[in-house]
Chains A and B, each alone.
Chain A
Amino acid sequence: MPKEFEFEKSITELESRIRELQTISESGKVDLSREIQAITDKVDALKVEVYGSLEPWQIAQVARHINRPSTLDLIKLLCGDEFVELHGDRLFGDDSAIVSGLGRIGSHKVMIIGHQKGHDTDENIFRNFGMPHPEGYRKALRMMRTAERFGLPIVIFIDTPGAFPGIGAEERGQSDAIARNLAEMSDVGVPILCFVTGEGGSGGALAIGIGDRVFMFEFSVYSVISAEGCAAILWNDPTKAKEAANALKLRAENLLEAGIIDGILPEPLGGAHRNHQRSAEEIVKQIEAHLPILKSMSREQLIEQRYKKFRSMGKFSCEEELENA
């Protein structure tokens, strides 16, 4: 995973130029503040130009940026040291690709659950690149039931390439774990707020994605299959990922239009990886706006509303067919 993308090369080059000039300037020999300002303005304009017109395939790359705020990064910013991480599914093990625990966001005590990716190779190996095994989904469900018992709303961060495809995952029932979560989440009697922060990778994302409100960050994606996977299957050519990304309509604005999500959280110019704090602030805004409404609803109302939300998803025609059509 590159730290910079081809399309932002010109930006990072100018940024390193600014840092050089700043170093010189700080040494006190010459005042370069005017030059620095000029380049800064240029970078800002370039960012607007580049990030304002990203292709779906480029957005899919930004969504996977190695410095993108992870669940634990966000938890740190949202809850500080108040957060208590809770581990394990009580059945098999503790999956480090999903983290969970108790925290306080603003005035709300909440259960937080999220996929966890790493910021470097070692960390990513430990986190299995954010791809959970069944025990991760079972841990998430255990946390949701605990939250329900104590009346705690649930805040979920979604960021995974998908559920892990491996021998152990199949032996321990990856399908069962995902399916069970989908069914049970439709029946959890406390508010559930979901945020797709990076990659919303298929069933592995949806397995913690049945929420009363579902939001996506501006440069996150949510899809039934990765662009690469889709290209390999339908085009028989993994290099057609760009075409597949276009066809899948996996951007936040596509999903908002389709009525699948409830809102889009803006990202700082250049993407969330450039300013984690800003992402946390946007999350707090949504929580403060929506949680009081959801908290005022009864268990039955919440479950009914959540059922209807997902019940209505899908597009089809219902007309009587023409004879011999």
Chain B
Amino acid sequence: MAKRILITDDALFMRVTLKNILTQNGFEVAGEAANGKEAVQMYQDLKPDLVTMDITMPEMDGLEALKQIRDLDPEAKVVMCTAMGQKNMVVDAVQAGAKDFIVKPFQPDRVVEAVKKLLAA
């Protein structure tokens, strides 16, 4: 069965781009969240195998959503996917339990490799 992924990004363009990359590589997109708050709710409803998480978003940012998801499920696999590549952001995300950190703009292969690696583990 295809592994199910929840995409989180406030930009429709980025959600569509990630969805295309993931579905073309055999993954199923379980849902699309437009902010951190939606992601936390959808994580509980959909129980995806992995979450991609933007950081700069309205309502609730990705770092807070990451923390809440990891509180709900300490085994949750969350990959940050953000334009904010500075060291302090990476450190904060990894300390909060993020499994990988992809900086935008990215090449599709970077996303596929990260997701495959985590879902094989």
Genuine A/B complex: no
